[in-house]
Chain A
Amino acid sequence: MATLDIKLLRDLRRMWAQALAIALVIAGGVASLVMAVGSLKSLEETRIAYYERLQFADVFATVRRAPKALLTDIAELPSVAAAEGRIVKLALLDIPDFAEPATGEFISLPEGGQPRLNQLYLRSGRLPQPTSAAEVVVTDGFAKAHQFEPGSRFSAILNGRKRELVIVGTALSPEFIYAMGPGDRTPDDRRFAIVWMAERALAAAYDLDGAFSSVSLKLLPDASEPEVIKRLDSLLDRYGGQAAYGRRDQFSDAYINHGMDMLRNMSQTLPPIFLLVAAFLINLTLTRIVALEREQIGLFKALGYSSRAVTLHYMKLVIVIVAIGTVVGAVAGNWLGGYITKLYRDIVHFPFLIFAATPGVYLVAAALGLAAGLAGALRALRSIVRLPPAVAMQPPAPPRFRRVLPVAWSLRRLLSQPLTMMARNITGHPLRAAFTMIGLALSTGILIASLFLSDTMENLIDVTFFMADRQDATVSFVERRNAAAVEQVAHLPGVIAVEPYREVPVRIRKGPLERRVMLNARPADAHLSRIIDIDLRPVVLPDGGLAISRWLAGLLDAKAGDIVEIDLLEGQRRTLALPITALVEDYFGMQGMMEAGTLARLMREAPAVSAVNVSLDNSRLGEFYDAIKRLPTVAGVALQRLSLVNFRKEMAVIVTTMATIYTGLAALIAFGVVYNSARISLSERARELASLRVLGFTQAEVLRILLLELALLTVLAQPAGWGIGYGLAWLLKTKMEGDVMRARLVVDNFTYALASGMVIAAALLSALAVRWRVARLDLVTVLKTRD
């Protein structure tokens, strides 16, 4: 082995703690990148493969009842590769030993078993016999939640008649990777199932023989989706068709997209910042480490080593440290990515989901770490290698210091000598102090950017569940009913108050911008489900006014006072022009809201209801559930309390876990920044500190002098860190907003305090580590060797 390589190994052994701290910072950056990009890629690729294999459709539409003959016309539309009709109906389920009412979405299966589009991925058992009226396949999650197996039985109220069904298989579907019952905000496998049944049986139950109520289309690769939707709408119009929609508005796909967008945006925001901080730190640290080697570099050159050989030697040191960091980071990132992927698999129903980061991710991470390290070391080497050996071997001239204040205001009257040393050290190396502060501020910043999510989520929960939707439950009807249905619900046991609402699908348009949303009408004096405006105040809509989600307003480039066009997509299809009178603060989906009477007038129909919000007497829940299960008109009941519990659970899994992982990595980086700063200061000032020890200063006093500067920089860096943290949080929140879900940025004071506290704790830990070093400072050797 070459002598220089032996020196390299010995140097690494000597400075192992510091090398490890630098390597861990790199590992933090690499791990976050591998985890985020890897889990995103795994999800994306799994979804593509899943959709492909099971023929997930591109366009979807529902009708009241259309003859099967129409399917031929649909299939012949230009750009349509395949069209398939089916029966889709919502029905209440009655499950043995399960009090709460559950909902099933019943979907018909053709004679041949597997449909051509939206095929089933059977997890167990088999498909129903085409002639069987009782055999069903249910979603895997539902079966697991109730410990159902093939052969288990439950009942459903199909078109007003209770039927006993027998499970013959469990399955997954690309159409329902993420699915939830009517009125719910999060999936609940116990209370919502997709139930596949032979077409013959379902058609008989709903009197839809020779007809279909839902159609799915597969398009040719170069198809224009809006064009197909327009033609499909005109074909379905006379059969009670509701506007067709593409994957963008398909609930499951939209939701998965949103989830991936969130992951993508997180992976595009946090890991680059982490890597940047890591790069910044190794650049700074290695510059200082190499600068400390000045005399040795001079010696090598004096011995006849070329500048290139000397440079290469130090490059190797950097490469080894970066390599260690990259390997540790890749292993940790791989493990964390596998963990995240597993969490996703529990929420979204993919038949297979394996974490596999592409080699490219590791390469990118390694290259970034290496580039930062080499750039830092080169910066220091360039200036030293350029010196003639004789000069390099001399100690550098003592650094020049300046007075901080004019002589007349001599510091000696204001500050003790240690404070003077600190002040001069900072002003004497302003760049170094600034870099250290930037590193510390970034550490606080990335901690805030990891920690703020729970504050923002709590605000979302507060506004959604406690300010806006304060009902205990929402009872949804199979199809729209008249006002008498409200009375019927009001008289159910345990019901204290009722509040009807009506939902109509509409297209809302301003200029060329258009979206398909639900228009939600409610009584003017609604007090259970309220409209909360962007100032977080409840608002009462004026007669004829329209309120829309703030997010929707942004998409339409509209503001309060603007006129928008509304295409009603149900009943008499008309286009109206309405003024926006308020913007709504809501975080889930997009909607328009108006007063019920106004909508009935515009629809030119008698007041109708799609669902009823109710407030319940909790002591009579059991009676309420039993009564609901006997109502043939009800499609499902959403329970706010359960929604909140499920929402919290899901958020805990994804948001909290991600935030915790990122916080952990951020804390690791913060510790690395602080420890390295302290450790290098110690190396640079070993002589000065040893002199003080010889003068009779105690270890504690010397430590105080060394750490005072770091303490001051740490404290000074905090306000900037808060600013950076808020900025990063804003960036993340903005990038994670979408049609499906979004939030208002809230960063609690506690979060700022916690982030700063963690950085300060890292500083204290570093101080402890450095104290150990100071205790071992060899006074004699330090002082008797030349500077």
Chain B
Amino acid sequence: MSERIFTARSLTKVYRSGDVEVRALRGVDLEIGAGEFIVLLGPSGSGKSTLLNIMGGLDHATSGRLLFRDTELTALGDAGLTRYRRDHVGFVFQFYNLVPSLTAYENVALVMEIADEPMRPDEALAMVGLEERMDHFPAQLSGGEQQRVAISRAIAKRPDVLLCDEPTGALDSKTGIRVIEALLKINEQLGTTTLVITHNASIQDVADRVLFFADGQITRERRNEHRRHAAELSW
């Protein structure tokens, strides 16, 4: 395996709300190498999103350890996690979360202000095939286009990891495939470690590795010997 980028040991997460306890993660052990493209599959409530949120520094684990390279994320406070997100993580969500008052170009340019060596916005937009649409406002873009703007915004700061929570969930098949294509291209060209949560089982074929979740644990994993191209997908 190449350089190890994430190491999780006995990671648990318990949500408490009054007397009710929900065990979202029940001891996850995981190792992820730099540049891997991983798909997370599993039913709702199986813990995929919880793991992704903890890995992205959006949430705290209840117990266990999570290392990003040599940094123990589980020991960081809010300021440390903000710093970590700023320097290393890109997020893509099901709902694109673009700033409606900024154009595509400007939405990407947002990260220029906080990243050390960002891409130029036009360069980042070109990677997702949107160089022609960069002066459009979100209201003037289709769902797929908005999602690709969100992806280019996430990668413009050259993150080490790209975390995607159902990036195609709100899209039709044809647009969804374009989004997956963009993610693969970035993974390939920039070597960005990419984790994708999806309910769409057909996407698993493009990944290096597939993790199956159930009941807060990784129940199974599969390594694809032969990865399919996005163009070969359909659903």
* A residues adjacent to B (C-beta < 8 A): 397-401, 407, 411-412, 416-418, 420-421, 424-425, 428, 687-688, 690-699, 701, 779-780, 783-787
Residue of B with least CB distance to A693: B82
Residues of B with C-beta under 8 A to A785: 95
* Contact of B114 with A697 in the complex, beta carbons under 8 Å: yes
Task: Pick the contact of A694: B91, B99, B105, B109 (CB < 8 A).
Answer: B91
Min Cβ gap A646→B in Å is 61
* Contact of A691 with B97 in the complex, beta carbons under 8 Å: yes
Residues of B with C-beta under 8 A to A420: 101-102, 106
* Contact of B99 with A688 in the complex, beta carbons under 8 Å: yes
* Contact of A424 with B58 in the complex, beta carbons under 8 Å: no
Bound together, the chains give a CA A544 to CA B100 distance in angstroms of: 79
Bound together, the chains give a CA A418 to CA B101 distance in angstroms of: 10
B212 at the interface (CB under 8 A from A): no
Residue of A with least CB distance to B105: A412
Bound together, the chains give a CA A787 to CA B139 distance in angstroms of: 13
Bound together, the chains give a CA A314 to CA B70 distance in angstroms of: 53
* Contact of B101 with A783 in the complex, beta carbons under 8 Å: no
Residues of A with C-beta under 8 A to B154: 695
Bound together, the chains give a CA A407 to CA B154 distance in angstroms of: 25
Near A by CB (< 8 A), chain B positions 38-52 give 49
Task: Pick the contact of B58: A398, A421, A699, A779 (CB < 8 A).
Answer: A779
Residues of A with C-beta under 8 A to B53: 780
The listed residue with most A CB atoms (<10 A of its CB), out of B82, B101, B113, is B101
The listed residue with most B CB atoms (<10 A of its CB), out of A421, A693, A696, A699, is A696
Q: A693-B82, A696-B83 are in contact. List 12 more A-B contacts (CB 8 A).
A: A398-B139, A401-B101, A412-B105, A417-B102, A417-B113, A428-B101, A696-B82, A696-B114, A698-B86, A780-B49, A784-B49, A787-B95
- Do A694 and B95 form a contact, CB below 8 Å, given A412-B105, A780-B53? no
Residues of B with C-beta under 8 A to A690: 97
Residues of B with C-beta under 8 A to A692: 99, 110
B160 at the interface (CB under 8 A from A): no
* Contact of B102 with A400 in the complex, beta carbons under 8 Å: no
B137 at the interface (CB under 8 A from A): yes
Residues of B with C-beta under 8 A to A699: 82
* Contact of B97 with A687 in the complex, beta carbons under 8 Å: yes
* Contact of B106 with A696 in the complex, beta carbons under 8 Å: no
Near A by CB (< 8 A), chain B positions 83-122 give 83, 85-87, 89, 91, 93-95, 97-102, 105-106, 109-115
Task: Pick the contact of B93: A421, A424, A698, A784 (CB < 8 A).
Answer: A784
Bound together, the chains give a CA A724 to CA B153 distance in angstroms of: 46
* Contact of B139 with A400 in the complex, beta carbons under 8 Å: yes
How many B residues have CB within 8 A of the partner chain? 39
Bound together, the chains give a CA A701 to CA B115 distance in angstroms of: 14
Residues of B with C-beta under 8 A to A783: 91, 93, 95, 97
B135 at the interface (CB under 8 A from A): yes
* Contact of B114 with A701 in the complex, beta carbons under 8 Å: yes
Residues of A with C-beta under 8 A to B215: none
Q: Would you mind naming 16 contact pairs between A and B with Cβ atoms under 8 Å apart?
A: A397-B139, A399-B100, A412-B109, A417-B113, A688-B99, A692-B99, A694-B91, A695-B154, A696-B85, A696-B87, A696-B114, A696-B157, A697-B114, A780-B49, A783-B91, A785-B95
B138 at the interface (CB under 8 A from A): yes
Q: What is the interface of chain A mostly: helix, strand, loop, or mixed?
A: helix
Task: Pick the contact of B82: A411, A416, A698 (CB < 8 A).
Answer: A698
Bound together, the chains give a CA A559 to CA B94 distance in angstroms of: 79
Min Cβ gap B217→A in Å is 21
* Contact of B102 with A421 in the complex, beta carbons under 8 Å: yes
B165 at the interface (CB under 8 A from A): yes
Q: Which 6 residue pairs are nearest across A and B when measured between Cβ atoms? A: A696-B86, A424-B101, A691-B97, A398-B139, A398-B100, A696-B85
* Contact of B89 with A696 in the complex, beta carbons under 8 Å: yes
B59 at the interface (CB under 8 A from A): yes
Task: Pick the contact of B99: A400, A421, A698, A787 (CB < 8 A).
Answer: A421
Residues of A with C-beta under 8 A to B79: 698
Min Cβ gap B11→A in Å is 16
Bound together, the chains give a CA A421 to CA B114 distance in angstroms of: 16
Residues of B with C-beta under 8 A to A780: 49, 53, 58-59
* Contact of B110 with A695 in the complex, beta carbons under 8 Å: yes
* Contact of B102 with A424 in the complex, beta carbons under 8 Å: yes
Min Cβ gap B93→A in Å is 5
- Do A786 and B95 form a contact, CB below 8 Å, given A400-B137, A417-B113, A697-B114? yes
Bound together, the chains give a CA A698 to CA B81 distance in angstroms of: 10
* Contact of B110 with A417 in the complex, beta carbons under 8 Å: yes
Residues of B with C-beta under 8 A to A401: 100-101, 137, 139
Residues of A with C-beta under 8 A to B153: 695
Residues of B with C-beta under 8 A to A698: 79, 82, 86
Min Cβ gap A489→B in Å is 80
Residue of B with least CB distance to A694: B91
Residues of A with C-beta under 8 A to B82: 693, 696-699
Min Cβ gap A152→B in Å is 75
Bound together, the chains give a CA A690 to CA B101 distance in angstroms of: 15
Residues of A with C-beta under 8 A to B87: 696
Min Cβ gap B138→A in Å is 5
Bound together, the chains give a CA A398 to CA B141 distance in angstroms of: 10
Bound together, the chains give a CA A412 to CA B135 distance in angstroms of: 11
Residues of B with C-beta under 8 A to A399: 100-101, 139
Residue of B with least CB distance to A424: B101
Min Cβ gap A318→B in Å is 28
* Contact of B85 with A695 in the complex, beta carbons under 8 Å: yes
The listed residue with most B CB atoms (<10 A of its CB), out of A418, A420, A786, is A420
Residues of B with C-beta under 8 A to A400: 137, 139
* Contact of B165 with A407 in the complex, beta carbons under 8 Å: no
The listed residue with most B CB atoms (<10 A of its CB), out of A417, A690, A783, A786, is A417
- Do A407 and B85 form a contact, CB below 8 Å, given A421-B102, A694-B58, A701-B114? no
* Contact of A695 with B111 in the complex, beta carbons under 8 Å: yes
Bound together, the chains give a CA A580 to CA B131 distance in angstroms of: 83
Residues of A with C-beta under 8 A to B139: 397-401
Min Cβ gap A10→B in Å is 15
* Contact of A398 with B106 in the complex, beta carbons under 8 Å: no
Bound together, the chains give a CA A428 to CA B99 distance in angstroms of: 13
Min Cβ gap B98→A in Å is 8
Residue of B with least CB distance to A785: B95
Task: Pick the contact of A784: B99, B102, B110, B165 (CB < 8 A).
Answer: B165
Residues of A with C-beta under 8 A to B49: 780, 784
Min Cβ gap A140→B in Å is 67
Bound together, the chains give a CA A690 to CA B139 distance in angstroms of: 19
* Contact of A425 with B101 in the complex, beta carbons under 8 Å: yes
Residues of B with C-beta under 8 A to A695: 85-86, 91, 110-111, 114, 153-154, 157
Bound together, the chains give a CA A545 to CA B83 distance in angstroms of: 84
Bound together, the chains give a CA A698 to CA B79 distance in angstroms of: 8
Residues of A with C-beta under 8 A to B89: 696
The listed residue with most B CB atoms (<10 A of its CB), out of A407, A411, A428, A698, is A698
